[in-house]
Amino acid sequence: MVPSGKKLASKVNDDVSRAVTQAPPIGFLGVFIHSIDEKGRLSCPSELRQLLAPESIVLTNFISDGARCLEGFSIESWQSFTENLRKKSRFDSKLHKLENFYLSRAHQCSLDTSGRIIVPSHLKTYAGLQKEVVFSSSIHGFRLWDKRVWELVFQEAESALLDNPNLFEGIDLDNKRGA
């Protein structure tokens, strides 16, 4: 039985999160808004460019909180991620779904001399990137969102936190409270 779209996306994202947990983080923090042109050229925030070597990134499709976006990694993080995946059984059906959804759409993007990348059209279309693109930090790298989608996702997260101030309880792994 094939799971529904949301269930499949949830399973794939859970598998990705477990595998990426082993990858070294980029160390990029914050939210930055940049314009994307018709050709898919997108200027990377200088904070991100300073962390990249050899000046390229990997982008792939991702689903976060039920919304489409792109996930980005440094080459080093991506290589670490894929090395962890190679340790899995090649006959694992979850791995096949991960390969079909996540790996098959990945693309290495080089920075040009102006600090821009070209977002491939299939990824630009997938994430619905139009004029303004938001770079948001994540634990494992960064995400690219259409600004309108990002605003909705952020508002939903903020609303959930306002409704339940203990929402993030248990995420903090540092048990040294008050130290």
Tell me whether residue 177 is in a domain.
Answer: no
- pLDDT value at residue 24: 43
User: Domain containing 50: what range?
Assistant: 5-24+31-163
Q: Name the most confidently modeled range: 13-17, 87-91, 152-156.
A: 152-156
Q: Which residue has the higher pLDDT, 168 or 159?
A: 159
Tell me whether residue 172 is in a domain.
Answer: no
- pLDDT value at residue 58: 93
CATH number at residue 122: 3.40.1550.20
The answer to whether 68 and 128 are in contact (CB under 8 A) is yes
Tell me whether residue 120 is in a domain.
Answer: yes
Rg (Cα) of the chain, in Å, rounded?
17
- pLDDT value at residue 169: 85
- pLDDT value at residue 16: 47
Residues 156 and 161: their CA atoms lie apart, in Å, by: 9
Tell me whether residue 87 is in a domain.
Answer: yes
- pLDDT value at residue 94: 92
Number of domains in the chain: 1
Tell me whether residue 169 is in a domain.
Answer: no
Q: Which residues contact 131 (CB under 8 A, 6 or more apart)?
A: 35, 36, 147
Residue 83 phi/psi, 5-degree rounding, is -65, -40
Tell me whether residue 175 is in a domain.
Answer: no
Is pLDDT at 175 greater than 90 in this prediction? Answer: no
- pLDDT value at residue 125: 96
- pLDDT value at residue 101: 92
Percent of the chain with pLDDT over 90: 53
- Give per-residue burial for 132-149: e unless 16+ CB within 10 Å, then b: ebbbbbbebbbbbbbbeb
Q: Which residue has the higher pLDDT, 65 or 126?
A: 126
Cα of 157 vs its chain's centroid, Å: 17
pLDDT band per the 50, 70, 90 thresholds, residue 178: very low
Tell me whether residue 109 is in a domain.
Answer: yes
Instruction: Please give the mean pLDDT across all residues of the chain.
Output: 82
Tell me whether residue 178 is in a domain.
Answer: no
Q: What is the mean pLDDT of residues 103-123?
A: 92
Residue 7 phi/psi, 5-degree rounding, is -65, -45
